[in-house]
């Protein structure tokens, strides 16, 4: 646990997450890894299939929830293989890619901002170039943040994302097959800066 003073909302969130961890309700990497093995969730991580070896340092678990998907993003700080140091200002993100790579992707990211607050936001990688437009330029209406916390050395966000939405002129429909991408990197001015670990692209497309 960090020594900084948490704002009241975050204190409530962290208390809830801590309580969930005590009951084993899916708030740690190992229990989310279990979800990946057992249920209808589609999982994606930086290290391929890390949940099978229960060795995840960053894991995105995505499940259908009627006309939305639930996205659970979780990363361990100071993880042993990727050495993710999440104590500074960093983002972790999973993207729904129309191009099969970075470009033309809707990205849900979870980040620890300059005020030591954790936020989850929707953002967009433009087509035809390696560039992210920043969440401030994206309508956040399709995103409903359920929780966002940094506790027990884990950065953790859970959101609901509508399956159908449009960013700039690109229509996304998560009922249709999309490639999943994952990445992590530093945050500058509360905005994504380029990843500093190799990003990961799913071998298979997923639909929800």
The conformational region for residue 137 under phi > 0 = left, psi -120 to 50 = alpha, else beta, is: alpha
Shortest CB 194 distance to ligand HEM, Å: 4
Q: Does 127 bind ligand HEM (CB under 6 A)?
A: no
Cβ atoms of 170 and 71 closer than 8 Å: no
Shortest CB 92 distance to ligand HEM, Å: 8
Closest by Cα among 103, 168, 171, 169 to 137? 168
Cβ atoms of 163 and 144 closer than 8 Å: no
Among 181, 187, 202, 208, contact with ligand HEM (rule: CB under 6 A): 181
Among 106, 183, 202, 208, contact with ligand HEM (rule: CB under 6 A): 183
How many positions of this chain bind ligand HEM (CB under 6 A)? 18
**DSSP labels, 29-82:** HHHHHHHHHHSS-EEEESSTTGGGTT--SEEEEEEEETTEEEEEEEEETT-TTT
Shortest CB 180 distance to ligand HEM, Å: 9
Choices 8-16, 95-103, 113-121, 152-160 (CB under 6 A): range interacting with ligand HEM = 95-103
Distance from C-alpha of 202 to C-alpha of 148, rounded to nearest angstrom: 25
Q: Does 132 bind ligand HEM (CB under 6 A)?
A: yes
Q: Which of residues 99-118 bind ligand HEM (CB under 6 A)?
A: 101-103, 107
* Cβ neighbours, 10 Å, residue 6: 19
Q: Does 95 bind ligand HEM (CB under 6 A)?
A: yes
Q: Does 161 bind ligand HEM (CB under 6 A)?
A: no
Question: What would the two tokens of residue 96 be?
Answer: 């729904």
In order of 17, 27, 131, 183, the CA distances from 186 in angstroms are 24, 23, 15, 11
Q: Tell me the residue nearest to ligand HEM as measured from the CB.
A: 101
* Cβ neighbours, 10 Å, residue 145: 17
Among 47, 192, 202, 208, contact with ligand HEM (rule: CB under 6 A): 192
Is 13 or 135 the residue whose CB approaches ligand HEM more closely? 135
Residues near ligand HEM, by CB under 6 A: 93, 95, 101-103, 107, 125, 130-132, 181, 183, 192-195, 199, 201
């Amino acid at each position: 646990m960090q020594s900084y003073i948490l704002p009241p909302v975050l204190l409530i969130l962290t208390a809830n997450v801590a309580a969930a961890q005590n009951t084993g309700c899916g708030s740690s990497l190992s229990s989310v890894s279990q979800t990946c093995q057992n249920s209808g969730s589609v999982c994606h991580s930086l290290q391929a299939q890390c949940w099978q070896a229960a060795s995840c340092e960053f894991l995105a678990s995505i499940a259908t929830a009627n006309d939305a998907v639930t996205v659970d993003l979780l990363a361990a700080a100071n993880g042993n293989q990727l050495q993710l140091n999440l104590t500074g200002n960093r983002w972790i993100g999973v993207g729904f890619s129309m191009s099969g790579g970075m470009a033309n992707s809707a990205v849900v990211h979870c980040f620890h901002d300059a005020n030591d607050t954790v936020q989850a936001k929707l953002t967009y990688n433009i087509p035809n170039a390696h560039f992210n437009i920043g969440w401030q330029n994206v309508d956040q209406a399709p995103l409903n943040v359920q929780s966002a916390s940094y506790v027990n050395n884990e950065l953790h966000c859970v959101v609901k994302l509508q399956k159908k939405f449009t960013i700039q002129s690109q229509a996304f429909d998560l009922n249709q097959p999309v490639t999943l991408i994952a990445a992590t990197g530093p945050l500058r001015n509360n905005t994504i800066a380029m990843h500093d670990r190799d990003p990961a692209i799913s071998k298979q497309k997923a639909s929800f």
